[in-house]
Every structure is written in C-alpha cells, then in structure tokens.
C-alpha cells in the first residue's frame, strides 16, 4: 500500500503525519469509550457496564492462563489497555481510512506502519524485562535470560531475545498491512477500465466486502495474539514458564 504521506523533520528524524494523527485518534477513542462505559458503575450493571466488565474479564483470562496470580494482577490493566488500543488501531484503516484532496493519507491503521508496531513491541518487552528484574533481582534475571538452561546457550538466548521483538512487531505489522493492501488492490484492480466499468465494479463489491470482514476478524486475532505473546514473554523472563 504505497499511499502518499505527509512528513516533517524534527531533530533529524522524519515523522509521518498520518501515523501521528491516527495514533492520537486511536488513543482518544480508547479513553473516551472507557470513560463512557465506566460512568455510573453500580452493583446492578447495565449494558455499558456489562460490556466493559466482559472486556476486562476476557483480557484477564488471557493473562491468568500464562502468569501467576500476583503478576497477572499487576499486568491485567496494561493487558486490557493494550488489547483495546490494538483493536481500535487494527480496524481503523478499514473503517476510517481517509485521504485528503491532495491524495495524502491522513487516517489509517497505525499498526499498518512498521514504526508503530515496533514501538508497541519495545514497550511490551520493556515491561516484560522490568517484571523479570523485579521478580528475580538483577543477577537472577540475567542468569534466567542468558544462561538458562545451559551457559553454552548464551548466543542462542541472545538471538531469542531479538526474535521476540521481531515476532511481536513484524507479525502485527505484516498482517494489518497485508489486509489493507489487498483491499486496496481489490478496489483498484477489479474495477475494469473502459465500457464495462460499472459491471465490474458491481462484481467486485461482494469480494471486497468478504475480504473486509475477514480483515476485521484478523485485526481482532492479532490483538489477541499480541497480548498472549506479551504474557508469555513476561512468564519466561520472570522464571514462570
């Protein structure tokens, strides 16, 4: 998906306006929806409270299956926020994709860009390493991460830590990017240019709708997988495999 982008330079770094705007909008949606759903909490929950409680229980069940109770409680709120943000970010490009009159994309899925996916991966791995250090102490953490189960596996353990980063970031980026790119190809290439343009457009609509529904499903699955993998990495680094 080679959409034109609006960029600017700051302190020698290049930033993409589309990614920044989309990320800020995703954050705003998560905050606003969370506030709306948690207003007027009561012992007899209504539909809004039931929805937020279901989401919390769902993400808690993911974490509880991988971590001891104490760590699951510490990580639970982050897991919920991460899952909610990923759901919104993964689906944004499918539902709210926006191009300006100049052809520049200003609204898309933030996770369809490698820098956003890598940032989320770094953030999750920093938390995982931090919990590992907190649980085992610095010496125990380094021993568990680098020298287990055998000291001669040090090179492989270092490669594993790099692979964890790539697993989190590239899986997320690749799936979301591919889904949006294929939707663009279907929309652009199945509309046959020329006299029968209208007929081919009608034929393309069911294919595009089916693929869009499938892409929405994949976006949810990728959010789920990202949270599970983060939980697994926390368990590994804190010696709770």
Using the predicted structure, report yes or no on whether residue 99 has a pLDDT greater than 80. no
Give yes or no for residue 60 having a pLDDT over 80: yes
Tens digits of residue pLDDT in 138-163: 888 888 888 887 788 888 988 988 99
- Structural domain includes residue 17: yes
Can you give the pLDDT at residue 200?
Answer: 59
Give the model's confidence band at 123: pLDDT under 50 very low, under 70 low, under 90 confident, else very high.
very high
Q: What is the mean pLDDT of residues 125-137?
A: 89
Q: Which domain holds residue 194?
A: 7-237
Mean pLDDT value across residues 97-114: 75
Q: Is the pLDDT of residue 75 over 90?
A: no
Which tokens is 100 given?
Answer: 């300006």
Domain contains 178? yes
Q: Parallel, antiparallel, or unpaired for β 13-16 and 98-99?
A: unpaired
At 150 the pLDDT is: 79
pLDDT band for 228, please (50, 70, 90 cuts).
very high
Q: 69-95 and 17-37 helices cross at what angle (nearest 10)? A: 120
Q: What is the pLDDT of residue 24?
A: 92
Q: Do the Cβ atoms of 25 and 107 come closer than 8 Å?
A: yes
Task: Please indicate, yes or no, if residue 184 is contained in any of the structural domains.
Answer: yes
Average pLDDT along the chain:
81
Q: Is the pLDDT of residue 56 over 50?
A: yes
Decide if 151 is inside a domain.
yes
Q: Tell me, yes or no, whether 2 lies in a domain.
A: no
- Residue 52 forms part of a structural domain: yes
List residues bridging with 98 in a β-sheet: 107
Residue 71 pLDDT > 90:
no
Type and span of the H or E element at 70: helix 69-95
Asked whether residue 1 is domain-assigned, the answer is no
Please write the tens of the pLDDT for every residue from 187-208: 666 554 544 455 556 666 677 7
| Structural domain includes residue 221 | yes
Longest Cα–Cα distance of the chain, Å, equals: 72
pLDDT at 3: 58
- Number of domains into which the chain is organized: 1
Q: What is the pTM of this model?
A: 0.83
């Amino acid at each position: 998906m080679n959409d034109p982008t609006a960029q600017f330079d700051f302190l020698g770094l290049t930033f993409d306006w589309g990614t920044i705007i989309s990320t800020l909008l995703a954050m705003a949606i998560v905050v606003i929806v969370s506030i709306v759903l948690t207003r007027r909490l009561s012992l007899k929950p209504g539909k809004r409270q039931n929805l937020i409680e279901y989401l919390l229980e769902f993400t808690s069940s993911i974490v509880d299956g991988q971590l001891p109770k104490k760590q699951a409680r510490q990580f639970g709120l982050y897991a919920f926020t991460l899952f909610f943000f990923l759901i919104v970010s993964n689906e944004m490009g499918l539902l709210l994709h926006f191009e300006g009159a100049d052809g520049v994309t200003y609204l898309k899925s933030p996770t369809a860009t490698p820098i956003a996916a890598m940032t989320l991966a770094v953030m999750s791995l920093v938390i995982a390493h931090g919990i590992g250090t907190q649980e085992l102490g610095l010496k125990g953490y380094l021993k568990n991460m680098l020298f287990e189960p055998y000291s001669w596996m040090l090179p492989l353990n270092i490669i594993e830590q790099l692979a964890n980063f790539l697993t989190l970031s590239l899986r997320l980026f690749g799936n979301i990017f591919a889904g949006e790119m294929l939707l663009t190809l279907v929309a652009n290439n199945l509309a046959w240019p020329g006299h029968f343009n209208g007929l081919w457009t009608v034929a393309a609509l069911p294919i595009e709708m089916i693929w869009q529904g499938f892409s929405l499903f994949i976006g949810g699955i990728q959010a789920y997988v990202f949270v599970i993998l983060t939980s697994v990495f926390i368990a590994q680094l804190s010696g709770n495999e």
